[in-house]
Amino acid sequence: MSQSQPTFVFRRSPELDGQTTRHPVIVLGAGPVGLAAAVDLALHDISCVVIDSRSDVSEGSRAICWAKRSLEICDRLGTGDALVEKGVTWNEGEIFVGDELIYSFNLLPEPDHKRPAFINLQQFFFEQQMVARATELAAIDLRWQHSARDVRSFDDHVEIQVDTPDGPYTLEGDWLIACDGVRSQTRESLGLDFEGRVFQDRFLIADIRMKEDFPAIRRFWFSPTFFDGQSTLMHKQADDVWRIDFQLGWDADPDEERKAERVIPRIERMLGHGDFEIVWTSVYTFTCRRLARLRHGCVFFAGDSAHVVSPFGARGGNSGLQDTDNLAWKLASVIRGDAPERLLDSYDAERIPATDENLLNSTRSTDFMTPKSKVSGAFRDAVLDLARDHEFARRLVNSGRLSVPARYSDSPLNTPDADTFKDGPPPGAPAIDAPLQSNAGDWLIDHLADNAFTLVHFGTDAPSIDGLNLVLIDATGLASDRYDARPGTCYLFRPDQHVAARWRHFNADAVTEAWNRACARL
Amino acid sequence: MTGELRTRLGIDAPDDFYEALIEAHAGLSEDESMRLNARLILLLANHVGERAILDQAIAAAKAADRS
């Protein structure tokens, strides 16, 4: 696999030759989340320096499931089409107990959305696309083979001690977005606790390459007949690569279990043949942790540096992308002087509840898959036994509750409904996509991708407010159903495509007030 | 409207039921009995359905432990 990956060359930074610059923003880490942060800022005309210690994209596939909301974010950032073209689209999952299929689900039960519920795509492909996009943008200064040794935070700036192949230097910035992963140097330098739980279980990940015509369905087995552990997951990725997860138990020896002579027979037993090649293996333990706060003065944490969840819910990479989706427009507004600094406090107010929802779902799935007591195991087994014949128990089977976009229901940036709506996305919720009638391939979500506040107006007349994007939508189509819209209904969207407010009729003063509230200007 | 957990006698022929409950466990090991009880609780909980009642039942069961 490594032969197909580009190598990122080291370039000497101006700081090494005595130049001192206070950069507006430093992004630490060029994984999916850091790159998304940088691209998002650049699209808001904010320049940033991105540093990363690596000379290559990630090894192995790592994160593979990218949710619809992430694809919509990537559409806004300019990489969505490339990801969907390369990735494996899927909407359905199947759960087996032993050999018996007990439950199937479809994560996108409603047709007519631009993007599917999920695509599977190896993390390094995602990173390659995002690097290519970042390289197109002059506002991004991408510095590879730069390791952050120490991070210091002051009242109004940060200083990072950076090691490079040409020696160390100090990098200064007004703001820092720490996307430096689960072993975050920033977190360690600032001495922040990473609180949470470690689950006593070990899982083997094996990515294999094989030709197999089986459709792209997420398949999960409890008590499989081909494996004497507790569960197995199998999932298709791009380029004929398949992800298999085996639940090994706590007593498994991680070094032994990764060896080919252990892994290959396990997979042969599962598939009934040996016609595959091992691409990557890893053994991991479930953990669920988060920082108490995501903003620390001029330092923001996003992605795995801020919170980690166990896999099986696709809540790691997808929540990280929602972090920077939430942060970038706010930080850009503050840097430009369009919003007061207190707008940045809403990053915590919105993303901490979202993080807690991810942790809750992930912890519940983990408790089901890895019962922590005998009685917990008895209830788990009871659910599985009942699931064969009884519908209600199938709904209790938990093989991972897959990522859904956060709704910032209690955000201080929301203007609560004054008019009556029976349906449609309430303030704080992300946009719901719909096809527009004007022509095929015209999607509502694409009209909200200008990185600016946008007023969507259902009807034919066109009110306008200086500085606000305006989108007119036919009040009789599918979009109006999904938004519970009548002629005259308006929705105000933030740059991250979440609803700030909505009304039955346009009123310039009300729209202006909601816009100001969403920018913390009130 | 949230209901209230009924704790006055509601079981038909209670002695017969009690005997049937014990009989269901005849010949089972402790582990098997634990799993049977778990299945029984889940079936009954689903039949009741209402979360407020189930929460009251959990609380009442915990409160009744005199050991």
Listed in order, strand segments (DSSP E) in A364-465 are 454-458
pLDDT digits (tens, 9 = 90+) for A371-409: 989 999 999 999 999 998 999 999 999 999 998 999 999
Distance between CA atoms of residues A280 and A175, nearest Å: 37
Structure tokens at A48: 């940033």
Nearest residue to A42 (alpha-carbon basis) of A177, A184, A152: A177
Assess contact for A233 and A243: CB atoms under 8 A. Answer: yes
All residues at 6 or more sequence positions from A129 whose CB lies less than 8 Å from its CB, including other chains: A79, A82, A83, A86
A163–chain B nearest CA distance, Å: 57
Interface A-B, measured as beta-carbon pairs within 8 A, has a size of: 30
For testing contact with chain B, the best of A97, A376, A381 (most B CBs within 10 A): A381
Helix H or strand E segment including A124: helix A123-136
ipTM: 0.96
> B19 in a domain, yes or no?
no
Nearest residue to A319 (alpha-carbon basis) of A331, A333, A302: A302
Residues on chain A touching B44 (C-beta within 8 angstroms): none
User: How far does Cα A375 stand from its chain's mean position?
Assistant: 34
Given this model, what pLDDT does residue A6 score? Answer: 54
Given this model, what pLDDT does residue A58 score? Answer: 80
Nearest residue to A424 (alpha-carbon basis) of A432, A434, A413: A432
Query: Does the beta-carbon distance from A379 to B46 stay under 8 Å?
Result: no
Distance between CA atoms of residues A316 and A62, nearest Å: 10
Structural domains in chain A, sorted by start: 2-88+120-195+290-345 (3.50.50.60), 407-522 (3.40.30.120)
Kindly give the parts of chain A with pLDDT less than 70. 1-6, 438-439
* pLDDT tops 60 at residue B1: no
A229–chain B nearest CA distance, Å: 19
b/e per residue A398-427 (b: at least 16 CB within 10 A): bbbbbbbbbbbeebebbbeeeeebeebbeb
At A141 the three-state DSSP class reads strand
Domain count, chain B: 1
CB nearest B38 (choices: A382, A390, A392): A382
Chain B, 45-64: which have a CB under 8 Å from a chain A CB? Answer: 46
> B9 in a domain, yes or no?
no
Chain B, 20-49: which have a CB under 8 Å from a chain A CB? Answer: 31, 34-35, 37-39, 41-43, 46
Query: Does the beta-carbon distance from B38 to A396 stay under 8 Å?
Result: no
> B60 in a domain, yes or no?
yes
CB nearest B34 (choices: A375, A385, A390): A375
Provide, for chain B, the percentages of residues in helix, strand and coil under a 3-state DSSP scheme, each rounded to the nearest 5.
Answer: 65, 0, 35
| Host domain of residue B59 | 28-67
> B50 in a domain, yes or no?
yes
Assess contact for A130 and A35: CB atoms under 8 A. Answer: yes
Helix H or strand E segment including A219: strand A218-222
Nearest residue to A312 (alpha-carbon basis) of A369, A375, A353, A373: A369
Given this model, what pLDDT does residue A3 score? Answer: 45
Query: Does the beta-carbon distance from A385 to B39 stay under 8 Å?
Result: yes
Q: Scanning every residue of chain B, which has its alpha carbon at the shortest distance from the alpha carbon of A378?
A: B35
Rounded to a whole number, what is the largest CA-CA distance in chain B? 43
Instruction: State the DSSP string of A226-275.
Output: T-SSSEEEEEE-STTEEEEEEE--TT--HHHHTSHHHHHHHHHHHHSS--
Given this model, what pLDDT does residue A216 score? Answer: 93
Residues, chain A: 522
A187–chain B nearest CA distance, Å: 40
Given this model, what pLDDT does residue A477 score? Answer: 87
Given this model, what pLDDT does residue B21 score? Answer: 98
Residue with tokens 């990173």: A127
Assess contact for A457 and A490: CB atoms under 8 A. Answer: yes
> B48 in a domain, yes or no?
yes
CA A247, A248, A251, A257 torsion-angle sign? negative
For testing contact with chain A, the best of B31, B46, B51, B62 (most A CBs within 10 A): B46
For testing contact with chain A, the best of B29, B42, B54, B62 (most A CBs within 10 A): B42
| β-bridge partners, A289 | A196, A308
> B2 in a domain, yes or no?
no
Query: Does the beta-carbon distance from B43 to A386 stay under 8 Å?
Result: yes
Query: Does the beta-carbon distance from A378 to B42 stay under 8 Å?
Result: no
> B15 in a domain, yes or no?
no
Q: Scanning every residue of chain A, which has its alpha carbon at the shortest distance from the alpha carbon of B47?
A: A392
| β-bridge partners, A175 | A25
> B65 in a domain, yes or no?
yes
B13–chain A nearest CA distance, Å: 27
Query: Does the beta-carbon distance from B34 to A390 stay under 8 Å?
Result: no
b/e per residue A432-467 (b: at least 16 CB within 10 A): bbbbbeeeeeebbbbbbbebebbbbbbbeeebebee
Assess contact for A397 and A385: CB atoms under 8 A. Answer: no
Given this model, what pLDDT does residue A312 score? Answer: 85
Given this model, what pLDDT does residue A476 score? Answer: 81
Which amino acid is residue A322, in one-letter code? Q
Distance between CA atoms of residues A444 and A435, nearest Å: 6
